[in-house]
Amino acid sequence: MKPTADALIQSLQLQPHVEGGYYASSFASDRGFDEQRALWTSIYFLLKCGEVSHFHRLTADEMWYFHGGESMTISMIHPDGRLEQVQLGMDLAAGERPQVLVPRGVIFGSAMNNPGYSLVGCMVSPGFTFGDFELFERAELLAQYPQHQEIIHTLTR
């Protein structure tokens, strides 16, 4: 039987994330990248029905791995203003991929494609710190990228 989102949140000890959804650190390299960051870090990340991961940006690459539930769309605004939307999931015939790379410096967020939940893993290298994390407000992104107003309204507060 497929677990519920709430059962996964409890079992994996997930906590609310500032970008939306729930997360928990799962693994980190025992090697340092520098004095403040591990070489890499990994988390579990879960979205429940109706939740989104709001637009944010990291200073490091982030690899997303699909674990279960519903597929999701990762929306990325590249530095040149280009919008790219990639499907993370297991329906390969429909164009979904079980792994998606979000390059450093790209503004990105995500939303599920169907009701339910989506459980993914995210690995960041060099390792994640909140000092490397920037969350965006709607007005700021609309001023910079008015051509993407529909997705900006969906993935911002």
DSSP structure class, residue 38: B
Range of the domain at 83: 5-155
Q: What CATH number did the domain enclosing 68 receive?
A: 2.60.120.10
Number of domains in the chain: 1
Q: What is the pLDDT, as a whole number, of residue 61? A: 97
Q: Residue 84: name the closest of 60, 61, 109, 49 by CA.
A: 109
**Neighbour-count burial of 154, counting CB atoms closer than 10 A to its CB (0-12 exposed, 13-18 middle, 19+ buried):** middle
42-93 pLDDT, tens digit each: 999 999 999 999 999 999 999 999 999 999 999 999 999 999 999 999 999 9
